[in-house]
Homo-oligomer: A and B are copies of this chain.
Amino acid sequence: MSELEQAFHDLVIANRILAHQSVVDAYGHVSMRHPTNPERFLLSRSRSPELVEERDIMEFTLDGKVVGDDRRPPYLERFIHGGIYEARPDVNGVVHSHAEETLPFGISETPLKAVIHVASSIGATVPVWDISEKFGDNTNLLVVNQEQGRDLAKRIAQGRVALMRGHGFAAAGATIQDVVRLSVYLPVNARVMSAAMSMGKFKPLASGELESRGHFNPKAPESFRAWEYWARRAGVGHLLGAMP
């Protein structure tokens, strides 16, 4: 199988995992940087992630323009993806989600912190991007042009994720497996922190622990273990590539 064919498989798997794990519903989307052309990214046409198939995948330039004469309606918020890929050459997968558990932290003054080891990659504190800071109170909160996508990417900076006030989150990963994993555990971390707060003081991960967790290795057995598990539960085990 060619690298591009496996990329298409992986992007379908990512869509289905995120839907099955309730990270996305009819809304939210996941993209990957084109495996052989870093100036492009791959993203489904405007479709619910649970229904996405290979033939739904479209190709975009980093400023969100459709490549070729593909006339199918794209997601309005494809600029979230383009903005991040443009700013961060190290990023190869992006997720945008409205995951419910993260929303309270996006509208609250309480910062979301990493409190469990499976979510260590979110960093000590997750920044919040409020579209009204730069674009005023009269937007519909959606990221509908490259300027807004760039501003959001700036808030992520060298991190992995930003909450979007009243809207959801945008996350970035070295690989698509990496960003899917972060997107699954970010809501869990949010629920755990909320529950711990309601009982009083709590202890977030120490900075040494955040660093020691180090960089995600998608080829490690424990990484593939989760990707395989989530894919099988989501009914797309047959699209998995060879076991590393």
Footprint of B on A, CB under 8 Å?
Answer: 25-27, 46-48, 50-51, 73, 75-76, 98, 100-101, 103-105, 107-110, 115-118, 120, 132, 136-142, 165-167, 188, 191-192, 194-209, 211-214, 221-222, 225-226, 228-230, 232-233
Q: Known contacts A26-B229, A136-B208, A214-B140; is A199 also within 8 Å of B201 by CB?
A: no
Query: Are B46 and A202 in touch, CB under 8 angstroms?
Result: no
Of B26, B104, B229, B233, which one neighbours A202 at CB under 8 angstroms? B104
Q: How far is the CB of A244 from chain B (nearest CB, A)?
A: 10
Once the chains bind, are B225 and A166 in contact (CB under 8 Å)?
no
- Decide if A116 touches B132 in the complex (CB within 8 Å): no
The docked-state distance in angstroms from the alpha carbon of A117 to that of B222 is: 36
Known: A198-B194, A199-B194, A229-B48. A209 touches B137 (CB 8 A): yes
A127 to chain B, nearest CB (A): 15
CB <8 Å contact, B115 and A103: yes
Q: Note all chain B residues with C-beta closer than 8 A to A230.
A: 26
Contact B228 A48 (CB under 8 A): yes
Q: In the complex, how many angstroms separate the beta carbon of A240 from the nearest chain B beta carbon?
A: 12
Name A166's contact: one of B26, B203, B226 (CB within 8 Å): B203
Judge whether A73 and B25 touch: CB under 8 Å. Answer: no
Chain B residues lying within 8 Å of A195, measured Cβ to Cβ, are 101, 103-104, 194
B contact residues around A229 at 8 Å (CB): 25-26, 48, 50-51
Give A67 Cβ to nearest chain B Cβ, in Å: 19
Q: If A25-B229, A225-B48 touch, does A107 touch B209 (CB 8 Å cutoff)?
A: no
If A25-B229, A230-B26, A233-B50 touch, does A211 touch B100 (CB 8 Å cutoff)?
no
- A75–B116 CA distance with the chains assembled, in angstroms: 19
Is the beta-carbon distance between A209 and B139 smaller than 8 angstroms? Answer: yes
Are A199 and B27 in touch, CB under 8 angstroms? no
Note all chain B residues with C-beta closer than 8 A to A233: 50
Docked-complex contact A222 and B46, CB < 8 angstroms: yes
Whether B50 pairs with A192 at a CB distance below 8 angstroms is no
